[in-house]
Amino acid sequence: MSARTKKTLIITDFDGTICTVDLGNQIINKFSTASLKDIERDYVKGKIGSRIAYKRIAERLKGSRERMLEHIMVMERLDPYFPEFCSLIKDKGIDVKIVSDGLDFYIQAVLDKYNLTGMEYYSNLAVFGADSSLCIEFPGKNEFCGRCGTCKSRILNSHRLIYDEIIYIGDGYSDFCPSRYADMVFAKKILFQRCEQEGTPCLLFEDFREINCYLLKNY
CATH number for position 126: 3.40.50.1000
> How much is the average pLDDT of 102-125?
95
Residue 4 has pLDDT above 70, yes or no: no
Kindly report the pTM of this predicted structure.
Answer: 0.93
**pLDDT given for residue 45 in this prediction:** 87
| List of residues 6+ apart from 131 with CB closer than 8 A | none
DSSP 69-116: HHHHHHH--B-TTHHHHHHHHHHHT-EEEEEEEEEHHHHHHHHHHTT-
Q: By percentage, how much of the chain surpasses pLDDT 90? A: 90
Residue 1 has pLDDT above 50, yes or no: no
Structural domain includes residue 212: yes
Residue 84 has pLDDT above 70, yes or no: yes
Which CA distances in Å does 50 have to 10, 89, 152, 206, 216?
A: 23, 31, 12, 25, 36
Structural domain includes residue 1: no
Structural domain includes residue 21: yes
Q: Is 11 helix (H, G, I), strand (E, B) or coil?
A: strand
Domains of the chain: total: 1
Judge contact between 136 and 54, C-beta under 8 A: yes
pLDDT (tens digit, 9 = 90+) per residue, 146-190? 899 999 999 999 999 999 999 999 999 899 999 999 999 999 989
Range of the domain at 69: 8-218
Q: In what order do the strands lie in the sheet with 134-137?
A: 134-137, 120-128, 95-103, 8-12, 165-170, 184-187, 203-204
Structural domain includes residue 3: no
For the chain, what is the largest distance between any 2 Cα atoms, rounded to a whole number of angstroms? Answer: 57
Structural domain includes residue 168: yes
**pLDDT given for residue 5 in this prediction:** 67
Please state which of the ranges 44-48, 134-138, 183-187 shows the lowest mean pLDDT.
44-48
**pLDDT given for residue 3 in this prediction:** 47
Pairing of strands 203-204, 184-187: parallel
Residues forming beta bridges with residue 19, ordered by sequence position: 15, 78
Q: Among candidates 90, 83, 94, 82, which has minimal Cα distance to 167?
A: 94
Which CA distances in Å does 67 have to 21, 33, 97?
A: 18, 15, 28
> How long a stretch of residues is the chain?
219
**pLDDT given for residue 2 in this prediction:** 45
Q: Which residue has the higher pLDDT, 173 or 78?
A: 78
Structural domain includes residue 214: yes
Averaged pLDDT of the chain: 94
**pLDDT given for residue 146 in this prediction:** 81
Judge contact between 25 and 42, C-beta under 8 A: no
Pairing of strands 120-128, 134-137: antiparallel
